[in-house]
Amino acid sequence: GAVVSQHPSRVICKSGTSVKIECRSLDFQATTMFWYRQFPKQSLMLMATSNEGSKATYEQGVEKDKFLINHASLTLSTLTVASAHPEDSSFYICSALPGGPREQYFGPGTRLTVT
């Protein structure tokens, strides 16, 4: 089956620093990738849609200058949390959409803790 990886799996950073999270589709090309945020005991909330070669589309309420998304290739999307603060601590999950089927394949998630 299709595999999506994320790196790192866990990251701890100090307040004010920036953190980059990578999302890779390992055995397929993903024209579209999605970024979600999940707080403890809550559902996944879509942050943005990332399309290869174009600007990301952000959901309402998500600051595009704080959550920078780059989808530079058909197998890689990155999410950079700029000037992270403790309230940005969360579980960040990406998913990738192959060009054909509509099933999205999810990555294992990245646990971000901002101290």
Partner 1 sequence: GENVEQHPSTLSVQEGDSAVIKCTYSDSASNYFPWYKQELGKGPQLIIDIRSNVGEKKDQRIAVTLNKTAKHFSLHITETQPEDSAVYFCAATSYSSASKIIFGSGTRLSIRP
Q: How far is CA 29 from the centre of its chain?
A: 16
Check residue 44 for interaction with partner 1 (CB under 8 A).
yes
Total residue length of the chain = 115
Give the 3-state secondary structure of residue 40. coil
| Closest distance to partner 1 from the beta carbon of 16 (Å) | 26
Of 86 and 100, which has the nearer Cβ to partner 1? 100
Structure tokens at 43: 């559902």
Q: How far is CA 44 from the centre of its chain?
A: 12
Structure tokens at 29: 């090309």
Which residue is it, tokens 């403890």? 40
Among the listed residues 25, 79, 105, 114, the single contact to partner 1 using CB under 8 A: 105
Among the listed residues 24, 25, 34, 77, the single contact to partner 1 using CB under 8 A: 34
Check residue 28 for interaction with partner 1 (CB under 8 A).
no
Binding site for partner 1 (CB under 8 A): 4, 6, 32, 34, 42-46, 49, 93, 95, 97, 102-109, 111
